[in-house]
Amino acid sequence: MTGSTTEAMPGGFGEADRAAARMHLDALWARGRAFLGTELAILGGAMSWVSEHRLVSAISNAGGFGVIACGAMSPELLEREIAATQAMTAKPFGVNLITMHPQLDELIGVCTRAGVGHVVLAGGVPSGAAVRTIKDGGAKVVGFAPALVMAKRLIKLGADALVIEGSEAGGHIGPVSLTVLAQEVLPNIRDVPVFVAGGLGRGDSILAMLEMGAAGAQLGTRFAASAESIAHERFKQAFVRAAARDALPSVQLDERFPVIPVRGLVNDGTRRFMVHQAETVRRFQAGELTREAAQLEIEHFWAGSLRRAVIDGDIEGGSVMAGQSVGMVTRVQPIPEILDELLEQALQSLMLRNAMTRTVAASGTH
């Protein structure tokens, strides 16, 4: 027993232990919960072809914060996607917009007219005008900060909150791990809530980040393999089978031809990409291709590959984007179960720590 006078619960702790742990946890992520308007300060990462109205509404309805991945959507398609999400949930959710989208202004207008409360800007440094337009429309702005200097710059531009995403994440990644990024940013940014992302798959890890000063966490990989995700069953089962070491970033063969690093499961496509790069470089050196043409050849290799993997289930030739937390995906689970599991892991960690503290105090050990 842990000293609680209430009936024991799973894990050997009592109701009073759980209540104390939940109070502690809620205090740790109070700022994140208030910013998002949610029960849990957990965001769903915006994943192209995956983060659409069904997954987004499921995350929000279960107490988290779903985020629509606009990606390359047209304003008309985004408008329909927002309406479909609003038809499935009355809870808060956000929209992720790519700053380089040629119709960014129109997309912002769609979000404003639909009453979207949070707009996440990704894919580059947003303009001050874009940030002001979003805020003037009544929404809060969330920006991605890959370094402390960028965090400070985004705050000056008017960002209301930040996401710092480590290289452990799936999809397009930066060069720094969350372990390092959190140490660099969290102690130095207090003006706005900072959410952490990249490689997170357990509630106790989220708890550790909250105790470092994070306001909440963003997860993508575990939600991509959820029951509510529209991803093909073969895509989800690839996650279930994979280990953390199977999710690797794309490799750049020649520094003259940059490759944007993307983390995904190694498959036949990733191996063929290496061969394709080598052949393209050979053709360039032989004078068969200009430098610009060679760069396009390399960039076009993956065109449409994410859709082929997610929607069509081509897990060998497509791009199976996944974070290193994929090793913690052991089965396809409903969203509420995933969120309950994350919450329970955080609470169990707190209850165990509290019990150990009481034991030490009772023994008189210092």
**Average predicted confidence (pLDDT) for the chain:** 95
- In total, the chain counts a number of residues equal to 366
Rg (CA), the chain: 22
**Is 13 a residue whose pLDDT tops 50?**
yes
pLDDT digit string, tens, across residues 295-329 = 999 999 999 999 999 999 999 999 999 999 999 99
pLDDT band at 112 (very low <50, low <70, confident <90, very high): very high
**Is 2 a residue whose pLDDT tops 80?**
no
**Is 332 a residue whose pLDDT tops 70?**
yes
Mean pLDDT of 242-266: 96
Whether the CB-CB separation of 55 and 77 falls below 8 Å is answered with no
Gap between the Cα atoms of 24 and 15, Å rounded: 14
pLDDT band at 366 (very low <50, low <70, confident <90, very high): low
Closest alpha carbon to 72 in 108, 46, 48: 48
Q: What's the confidence (pLDDT) of residue 3?
A: 39
Compute the C-alpha angle 360/365/366, nearest 5°. 105
Mean pLDDT of 25-52: 98
Residue written as tokens 């959710």? 93
pLDDT band at 6 (very low <50, low <70, confident <90, very high): very low
Positive or negative: CA dihedral 183, 186, 189, 194: positive
In this structure, of 2-16, 225-239, 287-301, the range with the lowest mean pLDDT score is 2-16
**DSSP letter string over 66-133?**
EEEE-TT--HHHHHHHHHHHHHH-SS-EEEEEETT-TTHHHHHHHHHHHT-SEEEEESSPPPHHHHHH
Q: What's the confidence (pLDDT) of residue 4?
A: 40
**DSSP β-ladder status, 171-172 and 216-219:** unpaired
Gap between the Cα atoms of 136 and 146, Å rounded: 26
Q: What does the buried/exposed string (b/e) look like for 110-130 if buried means 16 or more CB atoms within 10 Å of the residue's CB?
A: bbbebebebbbbbeeebeeeb
Mean pLDDT of 42-68: 98
pLDDT digit string, tens, across residues 116-148 = 999 999 998 999 999 999 999 999 999 999 999
AA letter at 178: L
**DSSP β-ladder status, 216-219 and 194-197:** parallel
What the block records as the tokens of 314 is 């081509």
